[in-house]
Amino acid sequence: MTNQHATLPVRKDWDTYFMDIAHMAATRSQCPRRHVGAVLVQGKKLLGTAYNGAPMGVDDCSEAGCMLVEEYEMKLAGDGQEILVKKQRCVRTIHAEQNLLLFTDRSDREGSTVYVTDQPCWTCANLLANSGVSEVVYHRPYMKDSEKVKAMMHQRGIVFRMMEGYKPPIGTEMPLT
């Protein structure tokens, strides 16, 4: 017996399906430093997509350049010691998670799942925790706020999980700076 569908791609599971869409949304971002995408899912229904960007009608990073701030961050060195490193971040954009919350309704978010390409920062995590969302799934870790974000999500009873071994669709991922 021959398999007529042998050349078709494998059917994606739901996690992969929605995370792929989050990565597609991220390709809309104009910040050359970081492309982040997020989607809102209720049951198996897609109720919103968002990416990081400047407010509507305002120059974005591609037009006005990134708006950089320098901050010292704690980082774990190879020997397990915590060290302070200077990092630059772009603060021009509204984060994808924040845009997602701005463009979706509270009633749609109750008990929903957010798929986001990157682990949320502290501010976004706080907003998500108060948004009605009951699960947050991310792909790339973001070490800066990781421990306190995980602790807060746990305390709030929100499922917070990373998709291990996930590979984004070809052509959607940019190198991190």
Binding interface with Zn ion (CB under 5 A): 31, 61, 66, 90, 92, 95, 121, 124
Does 90 belong to an annotated binding site?
Answer: no
Residues in contact with 91: Cβ distance below 8 Å, sequence separation at least 6, in sequence order:
67, 68, 69
Does 124 belong to an annotated binding site?
Answer: yes
Q: Which positions are catalytic?
A: 97
Chain center to CA of 30:
15
- Minimum distance between the CB of residue 62 and Zn ion, rounded to whole angstroms? 9
Q: Which two tokens stand for residue 21?
A: 């869409």
Does 31 belong to an annotated binding site?
Answer: no
Taking the least distance from each CB to Zn ion, the nearer of 63 and 79 is 63
DSSP letters spanning 140-174: E--GGGHHHHHHHHHHHT-EEEE-TT--PPTT---
* Cα 139 to Cα 39: distance, rounded to the nearest angstrom: 13
User: Side chain identity at 157, as an amino acid letter?
Assistant: G
Q: Is 138 helix (H, G, I), strand (E, B) or coil?
A: strand
Taking the least distance from each CB to Zn ion, the nearer of 69 and 85 is 69
β-bridge mates for residue 40, sequence order? 48, 114
Q: Is 84 helix (H, G, I), strand (E, B) or coil?
A: strand
- Minimum distance between the CB of residue 96 and Zn ion, rounded to whole angstroms? 8
Binding site for Zn(2+), by residue number, is: 95, 121, 124
Binding site, by residue number, is: 95, 121, 124
